[in-house]
Chains A and B, each alone.
Chain A
Amino acid sequence: MTTTDSPSNPGKRLLFFFLVSLLFSTSALAGVDLLPPGFRPLPLGVHALVGGKVVVRPGEVLESATVVIRDGLIQAVGKDVVAPPDARIWEMKGLTIYAGFMDPYLMLAATNAPVSTSKTEPIGLTSGIKFFGVPGQENDPGSRGPSSQISSLTPERRVAQTYSPDAKTLESLRELGFTTANVVPAKGILRGTGAFVALSDTEPNRAIIKPDVFQHIAFDSDDRKEGEYPESFMGVIAAVRQSFFDAQYYVLDHADYLKKPEGRKRPEFNPALAALTPAGEKKMRVAFEPGSVLMADRAVRVAGELNLDFVLVSNGQEWRRPDLAKGTGAAFIVPVNFPELPKLPDEEDWDQVSLDDFRAWDWAAENPALLRQQGLEMALTTYGLKEKKDFRKNLRLALDRGLSETDALAALTTVPAKLCGLEKQSGTVEAGKLANLTVVDGKGYFDPEAKVREVWIDGRNYHVQAVKEAEKESKKDETADKEKEAKVKAEKEKKDAELKELQKQRVAHSPLEGRGAIKIEPKTEPQVVLIQNATIWTCGPAGKIDRGDLFIRGNKIDIVGQIPGGYSGPLINGTGLHITPGLIDCHNHSMILGNVNEATIPSSAMVRIGDVINSETDNIYRQLAGGLTVANELHGSANPIGGQNQVIKLRDGASPEGLKFVDAPPGIKFALGENVKQSNWGDKNVTRFPQTRMGVPTFMANRFIAAQQYLKDLENKNGGVPPRRDLELEAIGEIIQGKRWIHCHSYRQDEILAFLRTMESFNVKVGTFQHVLEGYKVADEIAKHGAGGSTFSDWWAYKFEVYDAIPYNGSLMRDRGVLVSFNSDSSDLARRLYTESAKAVKYGGTTEEEALKFVTINPAKQLHIDSRVGSLEPGKDADFVIWSKSPLDSGTVCLQTWIDGKKYFDRTLDSQRTAALEKERGELMAKAKKIAKLAGGGGGGEGKSDGTFFRRSIEHLYDGKERHCLDEGGDR
């Protein structure tokens, strides 16, 4: 080593100085590096890494090249580069040199698991918005000091202000080859900004390369004070939306105030809103952690609404809907925390592993490759791994399942550099870039056996202290029988090879397989279908046609009645069969992702069921099999003013957006009685207003008056700052303007009347009363107002306010002129609304044709979609059901269900479908058991039972479970 500064290339040297001064001259603390006596002196900053294989960037390799480092930067790279005479020479023969790896999503707090996709706790209370008796009423809610009123909204938090790494963590990351990372905030929904740091043992001031890389948003509905707003996914999204609107307003308001502070109201100081502004103005990228592929789809839509620049953090399950992932067009930050087989105590315990559990396990390693196949950019992260050291092992699994090494390397270097806006300084091994390098033994990084030898961070060498297990072993066994050792080794190798072979092959199918419209033969353009000679219950003016034909053209009904001869297209012989319009459920919660209620606050008018439609639940198929084609997905009844509803068609296989009934006018859920006054919520919940039936209309009137004032403010265009957009009052304002229909959960006659009168005082016409079990007592009043009644056929006595519920309710209301429907409010009952309608015949003598209307045209009218669906008439949507007998006969079976002229359910294909699923599960179980055996786990186990294997996806959380009770976040 020489200390003489004699540059071989003065020109380059000059350029280098220029770069250095550019980078460091602004630092007040930069200067002479000579430490006072007593300290270990700093090493010199000139190094030449000689003879290694240099991967300049993914796909570009220099064999036996030299990398020159000077004062923290790469000075030169090349095969012909000569080591400067002042450089310390590092022999790199046989080693591979990569640009230093970057982890774009490093969460340092040990307790932070990935965004929970598990069930959130039900019912509770909340804060954020000033409602009486909910958490957050103190003068300083949210975080201490000036902040958002909602504790999970902390966009002002900066990792750059608190970053203080612990040496062990840094070392463990360097062992994996990482040199830099974006350290991200860990808690809340709007989490704050991360900081991009060098993983070097240096003080935080020097370690931080770039503060405020992303604003982090997680759709995390857990991890907050009990009962605090928002606790549902739809509430989370509403809170995010409102925050960005508030930030926009905040900027305008403050600018206005600065311009002319006199004579106007002083704006509040809010650091949270100020901190959100750069993201809102596209000056800072947002990193969403949506927690599921459906919520990723939603994140992208919200980002579109708010005009945000963003990246997504994968939850590892984009395989569920690759189409949705592709549709995001976004770059993904991808963890490799693949589920591991659990150690099951008994052989029979395998029985409780669902097909979906197996699929999630088998697909996991393929997910990164799958994202690349969708043409999406991808960066890898160690995030989510319980044991960071599993990173390389799991990365190898991903490579074995189709991820290319080039893509993987890009995902560790160039892509994260680009996403974090650091592509000029890092990501490749090029002159002028930060001297961050990862040096690996043997076959290179993607061989998990090859050790990371050392990393270089800002030109400083960090030797990685990996324990050489092989050496230790051989020492121990030196005296042992060499032959035996070889045999054991060979056996292990054989096992490993077998294991690898098994892991390489995916057995799981796509969950989209076998879903969607069923092929019709022969195909025509447009597709036509004729059902001949059936009994047709039109539910329209044509009444019941005893022997008739139904002719479908494209997605519409063309002819109902008799069609002229000469037809030669696809034909269904309907002799002996019955056809009805597709059934419509005016009250359903089965296709909602996560909580059905934003139960925390008494008015949650800002939340939208349309944000959380679950297109993946098994409920869709099961309800199709009962003839259901349209469902009104409603918010629950935990609060007087609930959330906005979403009408969907059960087009199984479509995306959440694809399920939506686009032309259905908007609506909103309201509720009265025991649920909203928290009568059955336990003794803790006695503080929120309202607690009585008296308080409910008081509360409603208050919000409507507030909305009236809001509408007035919007109209006042006398210059100045336009009013803050208020999503709650906006929705209530739409009710007042007649653009949004109320569906009001109700039971007792007195509360029904009180509600009617309150709404009438605002000139609001109520859409429907839901349940309305004492509707028969005030049917005249409901009819006079013109509201519909959507009731249960015969539920009663499950709580006090339904003690007077009678099964004659539907017939009695109908007799007095109320538009009546029967609804399910239950994932089970929604499968058999047809037999429910027969109860109107039994109780109260409604005629059969009229009774069938309770589940067809009447709910269509209640939802204001009757021009499209609900009856079989020419020009309407071709939504219909074919039955084996009269739909009201208890012995009838649904044979086929059609939506938009496409067949979505065919009973003759069902046994095939079930057999295929069972077979797949059997194959997956066989594979799992083999792997468990090879990996040497006891009754099961590849490894640890860390719970990742059984983490039930949010999409299937409620499958096989009823969703109607209040305490399950439902509604009854």
Chain B
Amino acid sequence: MIGTGLFCAATVRSETFLLTEATIHTVSGATISRGDVLIQDRKIKGVFDASQPTRAIYPNDTTKIDLKGQHLYPGIIALNTSLGLIEIGAVRATRDTTEVGEGYTPDVQSWTAINPDSELIPVARGNGVTHAQPVPQGNVVAGQSGLVALDGWTSEQMTIKKPVALHLYWPQMELDTRSKEEFQDKSKWKSLEDQAKERQKKLKAFDDYFQEARAYEKARSAAGKNGVADPELNPSWEAMRPFVRGELPLMIHADEIRQIKTAVFWAETNRYKMILAGGRDAWKVADLLATNKIPVVYDYVFGLPPRDTDAYDIQFKAPEILRKAGVTVAFSVGPGDASLLKNIPYDAAQSVAFGLPESEALKGMTLYPAQLAGVADHLGSIEAGKEATFFVADGDILDIRTNVKRMWIAGKEISLENRHTRLYEKYRNRPFPK
């Protein structure tokens, strides 16, 4: 059923309001089975457990919203997605996900191409997603991502952080073992030896690029002092500066074991901040990732096991294997298909069915992605001082049968109406035949 929250005009707006009697999944702390949350000036003023003596103090005219029997969760933050950059996969005109080039376009910025009126955005909101990280896809160094709130009149208003990360798509490490006969275009076939050489070359070229970016950064830093002139301005190198300084993370997209290993080794050697995205085989090197404190944005829960010796449930179990080893795991559905972003909780839920503690699954959709995106100071959990961004559900968000009823982003209630609910309402009201 569709809750009333969907259809109330998004006008419940008050400087101060109190959510009462909700089960509060603070995520950062213990879950409060019955409690109140006081919101003031778009921020959470306080979180109160009804079983504790402390009560909220608020003005008399404060709006109270009764959430008895309902669950309150911090907004879901969907990392590594193409939301806003794509509308309909098969229609080229609606795809803005992937640039072309020789593989070095760090000055491409995802937040410049977000379509605020994408029909996919309200559908994602409909299941609790409040923030998303649209990422540029492509070759090697594809560009920078920002973090957008799924509310705002313009793409600028939506963008709450830029850049969040630089996106590297790790070169293919697997050999193409097909024989020449299997190639339609025989000229494309390469021997294993040649492929191995090429593989080395690509890694070298990629590493060189970063060394050159560092040299540029050094020259830029030195400029102006002791009469050193500025180097010729280069937008590509310019874009690389905060990343080679190690201030902002590199999100390295890699699935295959050797890609992951070489990426970790490279990032560690150069002291770059690395986040692994994709991470199909990450479970195989859980310890390596833990030792190097590399978090994983895992989007392969529902991928098929790639090897014929893999357990059928290995990708379901992977988040728990990683967590046990000490790796931070955030959930993602990947940049391939933004239309089903709403299903993020079910990736997490499947991992719970196969061993991951529920609290970790929740963190993996809220607090951990907030940390990885560098916004955990004001997003990702329900605690005093953070932004009033949360949603109300009629049950456990990790259960498919649950529905999201209301949502606030930065203190403003957001309509949960979307293309799906509109069409639903329209056609369920089609007169029955006589």
Contact = CB atoms under 8 A, between A and B. Distances in A.
Interface of A: 113, 116, 118-119, 121, 342-346, 348-349, 351-352, 354-356, 618, 621-622, 625, 674, 679-680, 776-777, 780, 784, 794-800, 803-804, 806-808, 812, 815-816, 827-829, 831-832, 835, 838-839, 841-845, 848, 888-893, 910-911, 914, 917-918, 921, 945-951, 956, 959-962
A118 B313 contact: no
Given A835-B400, A891-B349, A776 B179 contact: no
Given A618-B308, A960-B307, A948 B179 contact: yes
A251 to B, nearest CB: 38
B157 interface: no
A118 B305 CA distance: 21
Interface in B154-188: 174-175, 177-182, 184
A889 B399 contact: yes
Interface residues of B, number: 62
Given A116-B181, A798-B337, A798-B339, A945 B349 contact: no
A829 B343 CA distance: 13
B178 to A, nearest CB: 7
B193 A345 contact: yes
Interface of B: 1, 87-91, 119-120, 174-175, 177-182, 184, 191-193, 195-196, 257-258, 302-313, 337, 339-340, 342-343, 346, 349-350, 352-354, 398-403, 419-420, 423-424, 427-428, 430, 432-433
A910 B178 contact: no
8 contacts: A780-B432, A796-B420, A808-B424, A812-B427, A842-B401, A945-B193, A947-B182, A949-B177
A348 B313 contact: no
Contact of B312 (A812, A845, A910): A910
B179 A951 contact: yes
Given A116-B181, A828-B303, A777 B427 contact: yes
A240 to B, nearest CB: 23
Given A116-B181, A893-B353, A947-B178, A343 B193 contact: yes
Given A622-B305, A838-B400, A959-B304, 14 more contacts: A113-B181, A345-B193, A352-B175, A780-B433, A794-B340, A796-B339, A808-B423, A827-B304, A828-B303, A843-B420, A890-B350, A892-B353, A910-B312, A947-B181
Contacts of B419: 804, 806
B353 A348 contact: no
Nearest to B395: A842
A890 B424 contact: no
A352 B308 contact: no
B402 A116 contact: no
B88 A798 contact: yes
A652 B33 CA distance: 47
A598 B302 CA distance: 29
A797 B308 contact: no
A595 B82 CA distance: 31
B350 to A, nearest CB: 7
B7 to A, nearest CB: 15
Contacts of B195: 345
B198 to A, nearest CB: 10
> 8 smallest A-B Cβ distances: which pairs?
A947-B179, A345-B196, A799-B90, A950-B177, A797-B339, A890-B349, A838-B400, A806-B420
Nearest to A749: B427
Contact of B398 (A348, A621, A891): A891
Contacts of B258: 348, 351
Contacts of A839: 400
Contact of B343 (A343, A794, A917): A794
B401 A888 contact: yes
A841 B88 contact: no
A945 B189 CA distance: 13
A891 B419 CA distance: 29
B427 A841 contact: no
B424 A812 contact: yes
A841 B182 CA distance: 47
B176 to A, nearest CB: 9
A917 B309 contact: yes
B420 A807 contact: yes
B343 A342 contact: no
A289 B317 CA distance: 43
A116 B258 CA distance: 30
Contacts of B120: 797
Given A799-B90, A806-B424, A917-B309, A891 B304 contact: no
Contacts of B177: 342, 352, 947, 949-950
A794 B343 CA distance: 10
A956 B308 CA distance: 9
Given A356-B308, A784-B433, A891-B399, A797 B88 contact: yes
Nearest to B284: A351
Given A812-B424, A815-B428, A351 B257 contact: yes
Name the residue in B119, B181, B342, B346 with the highest tally of chain A Cβ atoms < 10 Å from its Cβ: B181
Given A797-B339, A945-B191, A890 B304 contact: no
B423 A806 contact: yes
B136 to A, nearest CB: 20
Contacts of B174: 352
Name the residue in B1, B88, B308, B402 with the highest tally of chain A Cβ atoms < 10 Å from its Cβ: B308
Given A345-B175, A797-B120, A890 B88 contact: no
A65 to B, nearest CB: 47
Contacts of B191: 945
A479 to B, nearest CB: 37
Contacts of B257: 351
Given A351-B258, A947-B180, A961 B304 contact: yes
Contact of B178 (A118, A356, A841, A956): A118
Given A343-B193, A841-B400, A910-B311, A891 B179 contact: no
A714 B242 CA distance: 79
A345 B196 CA distance: 6
A355 B181 CA distance: 23
A950 B343 CA distance: 37
A831 B304 CA distance: 10
A812 B428 contact: yes
Nearest to A806: B420
Contacts of B175: 344-345, 349, 352
Contacts of A342: 177, 192
A806 B420 CA distance: 5
A841 B179 contact: no
A596 B307 CA distance: 22
Given A951-B179, A962-B304, A680 B311 contact: no
A351 B177 CA distance: 13
Name the residue in A356, A808, A839 with the highest tally of chain B Cβ atoms < 10 Å from its Cβ: A808
Contacts of A674: 90
Contact of A803 (B88, B303, B313, B432): B88
B313 A355 contact: no
Contacts of A351: 257-258
Contacts of B353: 890-893
Nearest to B354: A893
Nearest to A798: B89
B307 A354 contact: yes
Nearest to B177: A950
Contacts of A960: 304-308
Given A345-B192, A803-B88, A891 B312 contact: no
Name the residue in B174, B193, B349, B420 with the highest tally of chain A Cβ atoms < 10 Å from its Cβ: B420
A113 B180 CA distance: 11
A528 to B, nearest CB: 29
Nearest to B339: A797
Contacts of A355: 307-309
Contacts of A807: 420
Contacts of A806: 419-420, 423-424
Nearest to A844: B424
Contacts of B401: 838, 841-842, 848, 888, 890
A671 to B, nearest CB: 16
